[in-house]
């Protein structure tokens, strides 16, 4: 029987098609694998997550800039301070402008506590300055399957890829910090040795 760390590997070794149930199981296995460690990594606050257009397609801003109201159905009180992994690649609204200047964007996320999040943001678009104003935000905890099967364009593949990219980013960041700390430790060792020789 595979351990919790290798369950995803054993599921992938088995032959057969990659179907939604398998992807869901793999993502849940990956979530359980990283959940105990979410407190040890720096996670982004939802309020600072940049996904809203401002003055052109290349400039994005986060919810903190607009200070939208919190939707009455929100399952989280301190929405803007909610920390987690947010899936920018899973935003469902295409780059083409909707017919109305009022529309919604949806983001999936994994909170620091390991809960799946679905964030709904009501937006008013100002065509004069090409700016998306976040007017209201609601955060729900619907579970992974409801997020994917909600018809909002958020896919298992997108969530799988973004979780993998995030974890690899953590490793890269930790390696850089390790190298910096190692260099400083070497200098301190030399200084301590030289001080003893005086």
- pLDDT, tens only, 15-35: 666 667 788 888 898 899 889
pTM: 0.76
User: What is the pLDDT at residue 13?
Assistant: 58
- Report whether pLDDT(186) > 90: yes
Q: What percent of the chain has pLDDT over 70?
A: 82
- Report whether pLDDT(94) > 70: no
SS3 159: helix
Q: Where are the domains of the chain?
A: 42-192
Tokens at 49, concatenated: 């997550």
- Report whether pLDDT(7) > 70: no
Q: What is the mean pLDDT of the chain?
A: 82
- Report whether pLDDT(114) > 70: yes
List of residues 6+ apart from 195 with CB closer than 8 A: none
Q: Where are the alpha helices (DSSP H) in the chain?
A: 7-13, 20-34, 63-66, 144-148, 156-197
Tell me the mean pLDDT in the region 24-48.
89
> 10 to each of 1, 5, 156, how far by Cα in Å?
9, 10, 19
């Amino acid at each position: 029987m595979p351990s919790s760390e290798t369950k995803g590997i054993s599921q992938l070794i088995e032959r057969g098609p990659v179907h939604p149930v398998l992807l869901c199981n793999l993502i849940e296995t990956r979530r359980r694998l990283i959940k105990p460690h979410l407190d040890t990594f720096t996670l982004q606050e939802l309020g600072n997550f940049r996904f809203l257009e401002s003055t052109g397609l290349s400039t994005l801003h986060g919810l903190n800039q607009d200070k939208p109201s919190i939707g009455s159905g929100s399952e989280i009180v301190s929405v803007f301070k909610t920390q987690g992994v947010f899936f920018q690649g899973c935003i469902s609204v295409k780059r083409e402008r909707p017919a109305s200047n009022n529309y919604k964007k949806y983001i999936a996320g994994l909170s620091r506590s390991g809960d799946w999040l679905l964030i709904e943001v009501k937006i008013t678009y100002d065509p004069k300055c090409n700016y998306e104003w976040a007017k209201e935000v609601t955060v729900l905890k619907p579970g992974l399957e409801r997020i994917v099967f909600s018809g909002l364009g958020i896919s298992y593949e997108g969530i799988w890829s973004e979780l993998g990219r995030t974890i690899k980013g953590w490793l890269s960041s930790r390696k850089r910090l390790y190298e910096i700390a190692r260099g400083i430790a070497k200098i301190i060792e030399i200084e301590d040795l030289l001080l003893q020789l005086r």
